[in-house]
Structure 1
C-alpha cells in the first residue's frame, strides 16, 4: 500500500518561504487521515449490519413459513425414526373392462393391547369377550396378566366395534390405522380376484399382499407406487359376469349338480369376458384351504381353470376340422359309421348302443355325435398328425392365463399314444383338459383359424398367432356346429336371433381308485355365437348333473349343460351389444316382379 506522508517536502518548503508554521501541515494531514479511516470503518460496519439484517430476515421468514405450514396441516402424533424399509400399505384398485370397481381399499383400524398400561385387566377381558364373541375371556385374562408387553387382539375391526372398545376406557387398549381389501361385489368373480392377506405388520400400518387369483399374479404391480395408483383393468364385464353366475347357479341347482363352471371368451382376442366356478366363496372372508379329502370339494377350487376333465364329444369337431384341413374329407364326404368298431381287443360303440351307419356324411358324424365315424376320421389323420394338431390348439400345456393357479393345471395325456388312444382322444376320452383349454381351442378354430391366448387383461388385440386352420375350414366347422343345434344333440341350445352353434360332450366321471362311475358324468357344451360372424365362445361344464323332470334321470349334456348355456347366451348377448338377427331359412329368396 502506498501511504501519503504527513509532512510533504514541497509543502514544508513552501510554508517556510511564506513564514508559516510547518507543524500545522502535519496536524492537518493527520486529521484528514483519521477522518478517512473513520469513514471507512463506518462504511464497513454498515455493510456488516445490512448483511446480518438480511440473514435474520431470511431465518425468521423460514421459521414463519414452517409454522404456517404446520398450522394448516392435519395434526399427527410424532413417530420415532427407525431403521428399515417403510411398509407400503396402499394397493391399486382392480376394475372390470368398463372401469367398475371389483376390488378396492377401505380404511379401518386394528386393536392391540399393551398389558403394562392396562388398569382393569379382568374387566377389559370380560368386555372384549362380549364385543368379540369368538374370543375366550379366560385366555385373554391370562395373556393380560402374563409377561407379554404387546398383544394383537384384532387385525381389523369395524367402526362400531371400535366405539365399543373406546367405551371400555382402558388406556392399555390401543388402535392402529389399517387398510383392508374390500370386494364390494361379494362372491362375484371370486375365483378370478382370489384374495389378500396381511404381510409385514406394524402398529401404524400393515402390508396387504395377494394370496390367490389376479391379486397374487399382479401383486407387484398393485403394490408398486410408481404406477401412481392406476387401477388394474380386467377383461371381465361385471354385468355379464353377474348374468352368467345367476344362470349357472340356478342351472346347477335345477340339474342337481355337484359343481359347475362357465367360461365366455372373445373369440378374436382371447379376452375372458366371464369366468364362473361354483361353488364359490366371498373373498372378503376367504375360507381356509382343505387339508384332507378331494381338493375339488373346496369352494376355493377354480373348476374353470384347475378342473381337468375328460370333455367328451366336444373334441369331435377337432378331428373333423383337421381332416378337412388336410384335404382328406369335406363336409359331405361319406364316412363308414357302422357300429360297433372292433380294434384289437377294444370295442367302440355308440351311446345307448345305437348304430348310425352304415354311412354318414362328415357333417352328420358331428350332428349325431358318432363315436365310430369320428374314430374312422381320426385313423385317416394318424397319430402323429393328431398330436401335432391338438398341440397347436394348446392341449399339451397349461393355459397362460394370468392366474397363479393356472400353471398347475396341465392336461392329462395318454402315457403312450397308440392307435387306440388316437381313436378315443378323437371323441374326448383319454385326454383330460380344463374348460378354459376347451374355450381357447374353440376360439382358435372358429375365429377364422388363428390361435388365441386366453387373457384376463382388457385391451387385447385380434389374434395374430399362428394359423391353425384356413378360413374355409373354420367356416365349415362353424356350419357343422350350427347344424348340431338346429337338428342334432344340442337342440335345446337354440336362442332366437343369435345363431348358436356348438357341440355337446358327456364323459363318465373317473373313480379316484380307478375306472369310471356308472351313474356319474361330466357334461359340457362348447358353443359359439353368432355362427355366421363369430364373436364369443361359451363353455359350460356341470359336475354330476342329473335332470329328474322326466320319468327317468337324464344325465347327458343335451339335457343338462345345453339349456343352461342357452339361457346364459339369451341373457348375456344383449349385454354384450349383440343385436338379434333374423336367420334366413334354407331356400329363402326375394323375387322381383314387375307391374
Structure 2
C-alpha cells in the first residue's frame, strides 16, 4: 500500500519560498483524504441497502405466493407418516361372483393420549377401565405419570366406546381417524378371506395388511391404488352359506371333530364354495394355538392345509390309468379273491369281504382293494406316478391362498411294488380335499387338467388334456354305478345323477402305525353324470355314526349322507334342473364298503 504524505516536501519548500504557512498544506490534504473516505463508505452503504431491499422484496413475494396457494386449496388435516413412507389406507373390496360384498372398509377411530396435557390422569385411568374392562388400571396410571408424551390406548373404537371416552372430557385423550377391514358376513368364508391387521400406523391413518387367506395372498393387488375396483372371487355366497349350514349339522350328527367341503366347476376350475369347520370370525381373528395339534385350531384350513390319506377315492385314478394304457376296459375280468398275499403283506377287503371274480366296473362299485391292487400291478410304479403327477397330486395346489404352497402332498420316498399296491387305493399317499376336487374335475370334464382358482373367470382357460375323453367318460359312468349299485347309495339325489367314490382311511398315529377307531372319511362326487358340471368333495375328520349299538365309521354311513344333503340343497341354487332318473336300490344291511 502506498501512503501519500500529508506534508509533501516539494510543496513545503515552495510554500516557504513564497512566504506561506506550510501547515495549511497539511490541513488541506487531510480534508481531501477524509472526503474520499466518506465517499467510499457512502458508496458501500448504498450497495448494501440495495441488496437488503431486494432480499426483503423477494421474501415478501415468496410469502405472498405461498399464502395465495394455501388460500386456493381445499382444507385438509395433516397426515402423520413414517419418515420417507406414506401410509396408504385404501384397500379394495372383495366380492363374491355376483358382486356381493365379502370384505370392505369402514371409517373408525383410534384412541391415543398425550399424558402431559391431561388435567387429572388418575381420574382418566379410572374412567377408561370402566369403558374397557380388560385394561389394567394400575398400568394406565403408571404410564400416564412416567413422563412419556404419547401413548396408544386403543387401535379400534366402536361408536359407543368413542362417545363414552369423549364424555370423560379430558384434553389429553385424542382420536385419530382410520379405516378398518369389515367382514359383514362374519364366519362365512372365513378360511377363504383369512383376515387383516394394521401395518404402519400414524395418528391419522393406518395401513391395512393381509395376514392370512386371500387377503394375504392378494395383498399387493388389494393395496394397489391403480386397481381400486373390487376383487371378484369365484365363490357364490348363497351356496357357501348353504354348504356351511349342512356341513356343520352333518359334522355334529356324525360326531366329527372337523369337516371340509370343496365345490368346484369342472370346466373352469372355479371354486364355488370352500368350507372348513370349525371356523372363526375374521372380524375378531383368534390367536394361533401354540401347543397340541395345529389341526385342532379353528384357523386351520382343512380343505387346503389338511393333507390326509383319502382312501378309496383314489381307486378311480388307478382304473382310469389302466384304461388309458389299454390294459383294461369296464368289462375286463379281474381276480378279486381275497386276501392277496404279496411277500409278507396281506391285502384284505373291508370287513374281510371276498368279492371273487369281478369286472373292472364291479371293482369300483364294490371298492375292492384286491381288484384295484391287481390292476395297479399291471400299470406299474413309473406309469402310476406319472399319471398321478399329471392330475396334480404331487404338487401344492396353485389356489390363491397363502396357506396353499405349504400344503404339499405326502408322497412315498421309495416306490416298490407294495407302495404301488397301497397307493392304488389311497393309502400311503396323502393329499388335500382341494387336490381331490381338482383331480375329479379333470376326470369329469373329459380329461382336461384343471387348475383350481378362487378368482372369478369370465372365460374357460386353456387346459392340457391328460386323460383321453372316452376313458374319462367311462370313469364317470363307473362313478355313477357306485351310487346306483355300490357303496354310495345314500348319495342318489333324485334328479341330479350323482356319481362318486367313497373313501375310508385310518388316521395315522403320531406315535407310529394307525388308530383302530379313528378315520378320515371322504366322498368325492361329480354331478350330473350325463353332463358333469360340478365336483364336490366332503371330508369328515374322525366321524362316527352312533345311532346303532355298534358305531359305524365308514364313509358310506357318514360322508355320503352329508354330501347328498349338500347336493340336494345347492343344486337348485346353481340353476340345475332335475333330470328324471330311477332311484338307486335301497341300501342293504350288508352294504359293501372299503
What is the TM-score of this pair, normalised by structure 2?
0.86
C-alpha distance in 1 between matches for 2:81 and 2:560: 64
* Other-structure match for 1:535: 533
* Other-structure match for 1:511: 509
C-alpha distance in 1 between matches for 2:365 and 2:281: 41
2:351 matched to 1:352? yes
Q: Cα distance, 1:325 vs. partner?
A: 1.1
Q: Where in structure 2 are the equivalents of 1:300-449 lying within 5 Å?
A: 300-357=299-356, 359-449=357-447
C-alpha distance in 2 between matches for 1:83 and 1:494: 64
C-alpha distance in 1 between matches for 2:103 and 2:513: 43
Q: Cα distance, 1:86 vs. partner?
A: 1.4
Q: Cα distance, 1:550 vs. partner?
A: 1.7
Q: Which digits, 9 at most, give the CA deviation of each residue in 1:154-178, with x for residues without a partner? A: 0000111111111100000000001
Q: Which digits, 9 at most, give the CA deviation of each residue in 1:46-75, with x for residues without a partner? A: xxxxxxxxxxxxx999999975x66xx5x5
C-alpha distance in 2 between matches for 1:88 and 1:381: 57
C-alpha distance in 2 between matches for 1:505 and 1:64: 77
* Other-structure match for 1:212: 212
C-alpha distance in 1 between matches for 2:190 and 2:68: 54
C-alpha distance in 2 between matches for 1:335 and 1:462: 39
* Other-structure match for 1:559: 557
Q: Where in structure 2 are the equivalents of 1:452-463 lying within 5 Å?
A: 452-459=450-457, 461-462=459-460
C-alpha distance in 2 between matches for 1:81 and 1:219: 20
C-alpha distance in 1 between matches for 2:544 and 2:459: 40
Q: Cα distance, 1:446 vs. partner?
A: 1.6
Q: Which digits, 9 at most, give the CA deviation of each residue in 1:404-436, with x for residues without a partner? A: 100100011112111000000000000000000
SS at match of 1:112: strand
1:545 to 526, 534, 543: 543
C-alpha distance in 2 between matches for 1:552 and 1:126: 60
SS at match of 1:563: helix
Q: Cα distance, 1:79 vs. partner?
A: 6.1
* Other-structure match for 1:467: 465
SS at match of 1:433: coil
* Other-structure match for 1:273: 272
* Other-structure match for 1:115: 115
* Other-structure match for 2:252: 253
Q: Cα distance, 1:80 vs. partner?
A: 8.3
C-alpha distance in 1 between matches for 2:225 and 2:113: 32
Q: Cα distance, 1:515 vs. partner?
A: 0.6
Q: Which digits, 9 at most, give the CA deviation of each residue in 1:354-378, with x for residues without a partner? A: 1000x10000000000000000000
Q: Which digits, 9 at most, give the CA deviation of each residue in 1:464-507, with x for residues without a partner? A: 32212111111101110001000110000011110000000000
SS at match of 1:309: coil
SS at match of 2:579: coil
C-alpha distance in 1 between matches for 2:341 and 2:259: 35
Distance of aligned partners of 1:296 and 1:82 in 2 relative to their CA distance in 1, 3 Å threshold:
closer
2:484 matched to 1:486? yes
SS at match of 1:184: coil
Distance of aligned partners of 1:110 and 1:465 in 2 relative to their CA distance in 1, 3 Å threshold:
same
SS at match of 1:249: helix
* Other-structure match for 1:91: 91
Q: Which digits, 9 at most, give the CA deviation of each residue in 1:360-402, with x for residues without a partner? A: 0000000000000000000111111000000000111111111
Counterpart contact for 2:80–2:203, Cα < 8 Å: no
C-alpha distance in 2 between matches for 1:391 and 1:152: 53
Q: Cα distance, 1:85 vs. partner?
A: 2.3
* Other-structure match for 2:12: none
Counterpart contact for 1:451–1:463, Cα < 8 Å: no
C-alpha distance in 2 between matches for 1:206 and 1:80: 10
What is the TM-score of this pair, normalised by structure 1?
0.85
C-alpha distance in 1 between matches for 2:583 and 2:251: 34
* Other-structure match for 1:11: none
Counterpart contact for 1:452–1:464, Cα < 8 Å: no
Q: Which digits, 9 at most, give the CA deviation of each residue in 1:13-48, with x for residues without a partner? A: xxxxxxxxxxxxxxxxxxxxxxxxxxxxxxxxxxxx
2:233 matched to 1:230? no
* Other-structure match for 2:161: 161
Q: Which digits, 9 at most, give the CA deviation of each residue in 1:510-533, with x for residues without a partner? A: 111111000000000000000010
Gap regions ≥5 residues in structure 1: 1-58, 587-595
SS at match of 1:438: helix
Q: Where in structure 2 are the equivalents of 1:106-185 lying within 5 Å?
A: 106-185=106-185
Distance of aligned partners of 1:495 and 1:79 in 2 relative to their CA distance in 1, 3 Å threshold:
closer
C-alpha distance in 1 between matches for 2:392 and 2:311: 17
Counterpart contact for 2:79–2:204, Cα < 8 Å: no
Counterpart contact for 1:270–1:460, Cα < 8 Å: no
Q: Where in structure 2 are the equivalents of 1:280-299 lying within 5 Å?
A: 280-299=279-298
Counterpart contact for 1:450–1:463, Cα < 8 Å: no
C-alpha distance in 1 between matches for 2:284 and 2:173: 25
C-alpha distance in 1 between matches for 2:121 and 2:68: 47
C-alpha distance in 2 between matches for 1:557 and 1:460: 36
